[in-house]
Amino acid sequence: MKDKKIRIIPLGGLGEVGRNMMVYEYGDEIIVVDAGLMFPDSDMLGVDYIIPDISYLLERRNKIRAIIITHGHEDHTGSIRHVVEQIQAPIYATPLTRGLIEVKLAKNGLLDRVELHTVQAGDTLEIGSFKIEFFHVCHSIPDGVGLGITTPLGLIVHQSDYKFDHTPVDEKPSDYAKLAEFSQRGVLALLADSTNAERAGWTPSEKVIDDAFDRVFKEAPGRIIIASFASLISRMQQVANAAQRHGRKLAFVGTSMVDNVKMARKLGYLDIPEKLQVSIEQALTLPPDEVVIMCTGSQGEPSSIMGRLSTGTNRLFDIIPGDTVVLSSHPIPGNEENVYRTINRLFQRGANVIYEAIAPVHVSGHASQEEMKLLIHLTRPKFLIPIHGELRQLHQHALLAQQVGIPRENIAIIENGQVLELDGKSLRLAEKVPTSYVFVEGSSVGEVDTDVMREREILARDGIVLVNVVLDRFSGGLRREPQITSRGFMLSRESETVMEEARKRVAGLIGSSLNGNLSRDIEKELSNYIYNETHRRPMIYVTVSRE
């Protein structure tokens, strides 16, 4: 057993390293940390979300001892339902995280297939050769944890999403003592969130949002409608507190938000007085200046409540002049256009819109540069493995770490799928395991790959030209004029003369192409002709039949 190594493998597609899933492996034992989803880039056409490629795990199903979830956000929980369909392993989470997972699994009828265990910050769990200590971290959701993972070769600290918030909404500050204690024991490796490595200074406390809300509540002449994520439990608490302070009733709209509120109140993570909360139907009968409505859609998703409000297509109620709309979130990269379009439309409908760019109605949930340095000083790791960021953020994290004394050669910047091996003294890049995007579209998982995506890209850029040729079965000549139509190519009035000539060219090929592949010849000829005339390269699809 002397030459056993700890293997660390970030999974999760080609995006942010290990945000969606991390694998720790020692001999015959594997523990998985987090099972989240990625949001698609805007050129991943038709894709709803992306889940990690878990083929590495599927080949080692029987080695997996535990799946540990650090907190309840989608990018750490969103692929659980796909994972549990293929892997049977106990899942460990704190009460709120567990509650959010249960809401999600129940929606898909998977709740009874999963073995869920509740853990608390402060607990220690022995799982095979791993001893796991859970410690409290601040983030933009309550009940987040970091992990101290004691292995036979040393202590590894896994610091998932965190910030050092001195005045968090749930009044539970970060567990500095535990981090310092780890450092006394000696930390072999620190894996830590790099999301905000480009951001100087210290991320503001969630507390500043209270002041921003106070100002909004004081000035709003009519209804206040606040959009955020359905899982942002602490934001709901802040809205409830502001409503209480300013004498407004609070209504939540949207299934996932309502479900999460119910669960979080039951578990004691949301403290909302009975009289404060009303149904949306009740809220709509109250005077506008006595109401706050909280809903989803802060990313400008067209099908969300805020998206529908902005286009005047919401079912229950509409924007009315005098409404104050608050977008209490940060646009996820790639959503900027949607978010700004939504804001413009809300202004157009007469709402006043308050958003991150003009008032601190949202703050980041991730540590900035000074906090990242503090974490390194607190834990004093031998090795640093920046995680949770794109390559550029990992590089910035590495630069910061060098500034506080970690030698460059003790920092491993890796990408998803890159296996790292630790033997207690040194750190080595081992093999790469498969990572590809697994695209989820509606109910389909992995039925689309990058080749299909490339076809969609061509279709999206220049459309498709459809050619139907009917030959005489006896003479082989044209039976009638070739039919050519198109979809997504160009306006038919503009393409008329091009199409006219195209028909002639197709007809011209009929005699000369008897030996070869007529469909292919037509495709080639039209492709060249259309490109020369229009500088476009639509897909071309030819059918030839004989009558």
Positions in the binding site for a copy of itself (CB under 8 A) = 41-43, 45-46, 198-199, 333-334, 336-337, 340-341, 343-344, 347-348, 352-353, 355, 357-358, 390-392, 395-396, 441-444, 446-449, 451-453, 455-464, 466, 468, 470, 473, 483, 487-491, 494-495, 534-536, 539, 541, 543, 545-547
Measure the CA–CA gap between 98 and 315, rounded to whole angstroms: 32
The verdict on whether 123 is a catalytic residue reads no
For 472, list phi and psi in degrees, rounded to 5. -75, 125
Q: Which of 464, 478, 468 is nearest to 530 (CA)?
A: 464
Cβ closer to a copy of itself: 6 or 542? Answer: 542
Closest approach, Cβ 431 to a copy of itself, in A, equals 18
Catalytic residue (choose from 82, 330, 366, 397)? 366
Closest approach, Cβ 538 to a copy of itself, in A, equals 10
Q: How many residues does the chain have?
A: 547
Closest approach, Cβ 462 to a copy of itself, in A, equals 6
Cβ closer to a copy of itself: 344 or 512? Answer: 344
What is the chain's Cα-based Rg?
28
Measure the CA–CA gap between 129 and 536, rounded to whole angstroms: 61
Measure the CA–CA gap between 123 and 136, rounded to whole angstroms: 10
Q: Which of 61, 3, 29 is nearest to 128 (CA)?
A: 29
Q: Is 362 marked within a binding site?
A: yes
Element (H, E) at 430: strand 427-432
Closest approach, Cβ 484 to a copy of itself, in A, equals 12
The verdict on whether 170 is a catalytic residue reads no
Cβ closer to a copy of itself: 146 or 307? Answer: 307
Cβ closer to a copy of itself: 167 or 517? Answer: 517
Measure the CA–CA gap between 380 and 378, rounded to whole angstroms: 6
Q: Are 333 and 233 a contacting pair, CB within 8 Å?
A: no
Q: Is 136 marked within a binding site?
A: no
Q: How far is CA 365 from the centre of its chain?
A: 15
Cβ closer to a copy of itself: 66 or 518? Answer: 518
Look up tokens 């030839």; give the residue. 544
Catalytic residue (choose from 165, 193, 259, 323)? 193
Closest approach, Cβ 239 to a copy of itself, in A, equals 22
Measure the CA–CA gap between 179 and 192, rounded to whole angstroms: 13
Q: Is 364 marked within a binding site?
A: yes
Specify which residues 251 forms β-bridges with.
293
Sheet holding 291-295, edge to edge: 249-252, 291-295, 224-227, 324-327, 352-355
User: Residues annotated as binding site for substrate?
Assistant: 362-366
**Annotated active-site positions, please?**
193, 366
User: Residues annotated as binding site?
Assistant: 46, 48, 71, 73, 75-76, 139, 161, 362-366, 388
User: Residues annotated as binding site for Ca(2+)?
Assistant: 46, 48
User: Residues annotated as binding site for Zn(2+)?
Assistant: 71, 73, 75-76, 139, 161, 388
